[in-house]
Structure 1
Amino acid sequence: MTPQSDEDEVWRQIVASFNDTAERDSADQPWPDSENLPAEPTRRVVKPSEERLDDDPPGDVRTHDPDDDPDDEPDADDADPDDEGHFEPPPPPPLPKLDLPTKVAWVALFGGPAYLLVAALAGWHMEGWALFTAVAAFIGGFVALVVRMGDGPPNDSGWDDGAVV
């Protein structure tokens, strides 16, 4: 047989078995059976009672296995494996303080449309000067925030701006 006829035969077998269902057994698992995790016993959280011991801190919450004797104290060496990879991020830094012009610009940006929305929903009759003031406040607040944004590098960046596109 030629190599071409072998390839054709293999191709015909692949096409013939296209719609066949695959068999599922333990050999198809992507990892060995020894790496499967055993089922853990269920645990429940027991809140401290009013008559707690003096050595317990006020916010102490203990986990209790229902199979254990209630008189047994949990060992300090027993660590919960679920908390092993738990990450608690640090608190975020405080927001920057805004100066008065920036606060006024934000109030104008949202205040103008808010007034127009409330007036339209309430059915108030709006004079021409009130409409003009609300629209001008919105546009002025937007322009003020864009102008104050700045497009230059920070003052502490040094003499080298890096790659400037």
Structure 2
Amino acid sequence: MTPQSDEDEVWRQIVASFNDTAERDSADQPWPDSENVPAEPTRRVVKPSEEPAAEPDGPDEPEGDTDPRDDGDDEDEGHFVPPPPPPLPKLDLPTKLAWVALFGGPAYLLVAAMANWHMEGWALFTAVAAFIGGFVALVVRMGDGPPSNDSGWDDGAVL
């Protein structure tokens, strides 16, 4: 027999036994001891409106709803407080003017249109030119060149 025919025979057996039920019941299969999970002690929840029933306290039972592993510091457990953010960078005068032009031009056009003001041609041109000029100035000043420090070919996420 060739290896191909052996493989074909194995596949035929797999397909033929696809819908067959398992021969052994799962209860007969051994359960590994490493899979056994120790049972936790049951805790009794007492509602404030109910009176707790008198139960004999055994030496192995914890008192009330307390957990012996509880340190009382659950308030801070798992709560992340981020460090304060770094201060915003100081902007120079050309960058400030570019931001004012970028938002000021469309803001003037919007206010003038909502107030139904008559706008001269030079005012429309100035507002549109301020918007375009502010955008271009910010893009040019963006500084998309390589980083000043040489940290290799992979800088990761550089923010």
Name which of structure 1's ranges 25-34 and 153-162 shifts more when overlaid on structure 2: 25-34
Q: 1:113–1:138: 8 Å Cα contact kept in structure 2?
A: yes
2:39 maps to which residue?
Answer: 39
Name which of structure 1's ranges 137-146 and 31-40 shifts more when overlaid on structure 2: 31-40
Q: 1:43–1:66: 8 Å Cα contact kept in structure 2?
A: no
Q: 2:62–2:68: 8 Å Cα contact kept in structure 1?
A: no
CA distance in 1, matches of 2:74, 2:25: 44
Higher relative contact order, chain-length normalized (CA < 8 Å, sep 6+): 2
Ranges of 4+ aligned residues in structure 1 off by more than 4 Å: 1-51, 55-60, 65-73, 155-165
Q: 2:105–2:130: 8 Å Cα contact kept in structure 1?
A: yes
Percent identity for Structure 1 against Structure 2: 93
Unpaired runs of 5+ in structure 2? Answer: 52-59
The alpha-carbon deviation at position 84 of structure 1 amounts to 1.2
Q: 2:44–2:64: 8 Å Cα contact kept in structure 1?
A: no
CA distance in 2, matches of 1:159, 1:66: 53
Deviations 1:38-82 (A, max 9, x none): 99999999999999xxx999999xxxx999999999xxxxxxxxx
CA distance in 1, matches of 2:96, 2:28: 63
CA distance in 1, matches of 2:37, 2:110: 59
**Does the C-alpha gap of structure 1 residues 13 and 126 become closer, same or farther in structure 2, counting only changes over 3 Å?**
farther
TM score, norm. by length of structure 2: 0.48
**Does the C-alpha gap of structure 1 residues 106 and 162 become closer, same or farther in structure 2, counting only changes over 3 Å?**
closer
Q: 1:153–1:161: 8 Å Cα contact kept in structure 2?
A: no
For the aligned residue pairs, the C-alpha RMSD in angstroms reads 9.2
Unpaired runs of 5+ in structure 1? Answer: 74-82
